[in-house]
């Protein structure tokens, strides 16, 4: 779809300016900043589709990656080198770069959160705040950065959020229905009262959403005292400037929507050599 969107097989500029259809070129992909690389298999998939296209049926492209997904890459380091038909690499260059830049930005951003938290007992989770169609790729990039995946879709587990509580008649009503389904149940609590209302139902996970540190600590004390086996997730308003405040808390997860929905692409370039 990305190649079709870019009209990769109808590149009027390359067709007009490059007269020799068999011309070969050596190229390299380099990092222009420190990052966690992600997207090797995606790049291979683009290349394979170029190879299988009618326009490039008698041409070839080879690429050798020197960095693996999840690996730290320093500024100006070489990520990959290759040799290709000039028109073929020009047809796929932007699609390859767009994808690996985006995925590497997620992996890099996730790595920064993991490093800033500096507590391996607490897992950094992503959310469903992903680009439509790109969820599997984006969540894969989170794992490459050292994070973990929350539910992949609406069918993965029961996750009761504020709108469910509002539309479903309150905490007691929705939990009474959910707990009886023999499925993993998580409930999002916006305040201490909702936490207290949740305790008799012993949900698998209680999410503390947009609470102050003082409220979070109070909620932790309540949950650990009454439900020692219930996992605790903190969500909302956590960023790199304040994640250190959560380092010493007795929690299991911190979910961060910005891992996939608001990171700036890292800078990666493809150059002929």
The Cα–Cα gap between 163 and 30 comes to 46
CATH number at residue 194: 3.20.20.70
Residues 92, 223, single domain; the answer is no
Q: Which pLDDT belongs to residue 182? A: 86
Q: Which residues of the chain have pLDDT under 70?
A: none
Q: What is the DSSP string of 102-157?
A: HHHHHHHHHHHHHHHH--TTSEEE--S---TT-HHHHHHHHHHTT-B---SSTTSS
The string of pLDDT tens digits covering residues 217-262 is: 999 999 999 999 999 999 999 999 999 999 999 999 999 999 999 8
Residues 128, 241, single domain; the answer is yes
Residues 132, 54, single domain; the answer is no
The string of pLDDT tens digits covering residues 94-128 is: 999 999 999 999 999 999 999 999 999 999 999 99
Residues 46, 103, single domain; the answer is yes
Whose CA is closest to 190, among 218, 164, 160, 210?
210
Segments forming the whole domain that contains residue 250: 115-261
Q: Number of helices and strands (H, E) in the chain? A: 10, 12
Angle between helices 40-51 and 86-117 (to 10 degrees): 170
What phi, psi does 11 have (nearest 5°)?
-80, 95
Residues 107, 119, single domain; the answer is no
Q: Which pLDDT belongs to residue 262? A: 86
Residues 48, 65, single domain; the answer is yes
Q: Domains in the chain: how many in total?
A: 2
Residues 128, 255, single domain; the answer is yes
Q: Strand, coil or helix: what is 22?
A: coil
Angle, CA 44 vertex, CA 262 and CA 136 arms, to 5°: 40
Structure tokens of 131?
């680009």
- Paired with 206 in beta bridges are 187, 232
The residues near 186 (Cβ < 8 Å, ≥ 6 apart) are: 157, 158, 159, 160, 203, 204, 205, 206, 207, 233
Residues 85, 153, single domain; the answer is no
Angle, CA 160 vertex, CA 227 and CA 260 arms, to 5°: 105
CATH number at residue 29: 3.90.1170.20
Residues 82, 37, single domain; the answer is yes
The Cα–Cα gap between 105 and 225 comes to 40
Residues annotated as catalytic (active site), given as ranges: 94, 129, 161, 188, 209
Q: Which pLDDT belongs to residue 133? A: 93
How far is the CA of 196 from the CAs of 52, 140, 166, 188, 206, in angstroms? Answer: 60, 35, 17, 12, 11
Residues 227, 185, single domain; the answer is yes
Q: Which pLDDT belongs to residue 263? A: 85
The Cα–Cα gap between 253 and 262 comes to 20
How many CA atoms does the CB half-sphere of 185 hold within 13 Å? Answer: 19
Q: Enter the DSSP assignment of 11.
A: -
Residues 94, 119, single domain; the answer is no
The Cα–Cα gap between 159 and 110 comes to 23
Residues 88, 221, single domain; the answer is no
Structure tokens of 56?
């490039």
């Amino acid at each position: 779809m990305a190649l079709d969107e870019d009209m990769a097989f109808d590149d009027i500029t390359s067709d007009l300016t490059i007269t020799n259809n068999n011309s070969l070129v050596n190229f390299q992909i380099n990092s222009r900043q420190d990052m966690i690389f992600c997207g090797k298999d995606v790049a291979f998939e683009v290349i394979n589709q170029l190879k299988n296209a009618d326009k490039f049926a008698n041409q070839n492209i080879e690429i050798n990656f020197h960095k693996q997904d999840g690996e730290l890459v320093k500024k100006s380091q070489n990520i990959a080198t290759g040799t290709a038909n000039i028109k073929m690499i020009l047809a796929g260059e932007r699609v390859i770069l767009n994808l690996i830049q985006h995925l590497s930005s997620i992996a890099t951003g996730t790595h920064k959160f993991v490093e800033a938290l500096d507590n391996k007992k607490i897992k950094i989770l992503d959310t469903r705040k992903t680009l439509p169609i790109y969820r599997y790729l984006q969540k894969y990039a989170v794992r490459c950065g050292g994070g973990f995946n929350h539910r992949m879709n609406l069918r993965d587990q029961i996750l009761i959020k504020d709108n469910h509580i509002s539309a479903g008649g309150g905490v007691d009503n929705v939990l009474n229905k959910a707990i009886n389904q023999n499925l993993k149940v998580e409930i999002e609590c916006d305040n201490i009262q909702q936490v207290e209302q949740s305790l008799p139902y012993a949900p698998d996970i209680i999410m503390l959403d947009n609470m102050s540190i003082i409220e979070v600590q109070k909620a932790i004390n309540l949950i650990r005292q009454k439900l020692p086996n219930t996992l605790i997730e903190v969500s909302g308003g956590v960023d790199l400037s304040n994640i250190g405040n959560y380092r010493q808390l007795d929690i299991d997860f911190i979910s961060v929507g910005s891992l996939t929905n608001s990171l700036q692409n890292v800078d990666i370039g493809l150059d002929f050599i």
